Structure 1
Amino acid sequence: MAALASPADVEARLGRPFTPVEEARIDALLEDASAIIRAYTGQSFERVDDDVVVLRAVGGRLTLPQRPVIEVTRVEAVGGGEGLPDFALTDWTFDGIDTIRLGDGAVIINLPEAWWDEDGYPGTYRVTYSHGWEQVPGDVLAVVCAMATRALANPNNLRSETVGSYSVTYAVPTTGDQLGLNLTRYERSTLDRYRNKAATVKVVR
């Protein structure tokens, strides 16, 4: 996946051109910062059409992991082997946000008998949906740029350094914040609204 910010975005916030050393590092820093943010939020922040994900239902509901959801086009029950076929469902509804409510299967003609057995179908579903932003949200872009700028300004990840009578402090340890390509407490709070508070289980086949 592409970085969530460009070198030009960081340069604009620095207010000056990159030095040769900074220019050599910026692409890798942006990729690393983007990976950290994606791991923390669980979101890709990219527009993806016809993405396919396999989820386990909880209470007759499927919670889609990527947001914002643009469209849900297909929901299939996964057979799970032993001769049980996959089949497309028609009795499901999407709440327009992130949740699919499943029907009881009563409207499906010739539904396999195993569907009605307690230990029949495994309860996993394959969903095809489109999601994501056309542009990276502004607050996410700001966090990526802040992380990259911090790493450029303090490449050795120092708290402070002293040369003769001159001393500089890069952060105050008591704040609980981290330097470099770590998310600060403030940055985590900024990103928290993108995290899934509850979700169904994504199944790796």
Structure 2
Amino acid sequence: MLASLATVADCETRGLTVTAEEAPLLEVYLASASAAVREAAGAPISQTTSTITLEGRTGAWLRLPAPPVVAVSQVLLDGEEVTDYRVRTTDLWRRTGWQTVCEEPSQVEVTYTHGLDPVPADIVDLVCRIAAQTLVAYRSGLGGEGLAARDVRSERIGDYSVTYGDDGGVTELELSDRLRRRLAARFGGGAVVVGSR
């Protein structure tokens, strides 16, 4: 499991006051916010080592998801280790291509280190803000009922009336479409890393 993209200390540095009792709860919110950001980005963002399986084709280039690629430690082509490749930015290059049999695609298993260390400050800030909003929602009600989604569109006091909206958002952890597109464009979203260790 990947560590959160931000810590309780990061939140406190940004001005959030956290009691000792709230710190474990905030850690849960930071983990959830990190998962939401990573899912939108289509990449772990923070540096990790992953083993992925890709479809090999006849061409010399094989794109690795979740850049930047720091190092490649092993490449298996249909179960056999190959070493005659070069790492180029986000791609593996192999003169003879990535297919062993002409009739069908090959399976390429790559173990590589990728991602950013340290996590960019704007991503840390984003995760802290999402987790802080969730903590504020928790604080707004006794026993956590402040976490219930309430999108109040209008409220009247005389003969009390309230109107709730439905913008599709359920929690503070839901990212806007604009932010999702921005994260996917920045981190190469689309391909998801299938295994990390």
Normalising by the residue count of structure 1, what TM-score does the alignment of the two structures yield? Answer: 0.68
Q: Which residue is equivalent to 2:150?
A: 158
Q: Aligned in 2, Cα 1:134/1:178: closer, same or farther, shift over 3 Å?
A: same
1:7 and 2:11 are equivalent in the alignment? no
Q: Aligned in 2, Cα 1:19/1:187: closer, same or farther, shift over 3 Å?
A: farther
1:128 partner SS: strand
Q: Distance in 1 between matches of 2:185 and 2:172?
A: 23
> Unpaired segments of 5 or more residues in structure 1?
80-85, 106-113, 166-172
Normalising by the residue count of structure 2, what TM-score does the alignment of the two structures yield? Answer: 0.70
In the TM superposition, residue 6 of structure 1 has moved relative to its aligned partner by 0.5
Q: Distance in 1 between matches of 2:169 and 2:93?
A: 41
Higher-Rg structure is 1
Q: Which residue is equivalent to 1:108?
A: none
Report if the CA contact (8 A) 1:139-1:190 is conserved: no
Q: Which residue is equivalent to 1:53?
A: 52
Q: Distance in 2 between matches of 1:62 and 1:202?
A: 17
1:154 partner SS: helix
| Identity in percent | 27
Equivalent residue in structure 1 for 2:174, among 164, 182, 189: 182
Report if the CA contact (8 A) 1:67-1:131 is conserved: yes
1:187 partner SS: helix
1:142 and 2:107 are equivalent in the alignment? no
Displacement over 6 Å in runs of 4+: 161-165, 173-178, 200-203
In the TM superposition, residue 64 of structure 1 has moved relative to its aligned partner by 0.8
> Unpaired segments of 5 or more residues in structure 2?
139-145, 159-164
In the TM superposition, residue 144 of structure 1 has moved relative to its aligned partner by 0.5
Q: Distance in 2 between matches of 1:12 and 1:137?
A: 15
Structure 1 residues 136-186: Cα deviation after superposition (integer angstroms, max 9, x where no partner): 111211211111111122233332497969xxxxxxx69987751111345
Read off the aligned partner of 1:56 and give its amino acid letter: E
Read off the aligned partner of 2:56 and give its amino acid letter: A
Q: Distance in 2 between matches of 1:200 and 1:41?
A: 9
Q: Distance in 2 between matches of 1:75 and 1:27?
A: 36
Q: Which residue is equivalent to 1:98?
A: 90
| Equivalences for residues 1-205 of structure 1 within 5 A | 1-13=2-14, 15-19=15-19, 22-49=22-49, 51-58=50-57, 60=59, 61-79=61-79, 86-90=80-84, 92-95=85-88, 97-104=89-96, 115=100, 117-119=101-103, 122-155=105-138, 156=146, 157-160=149-152, 179-196=171-188
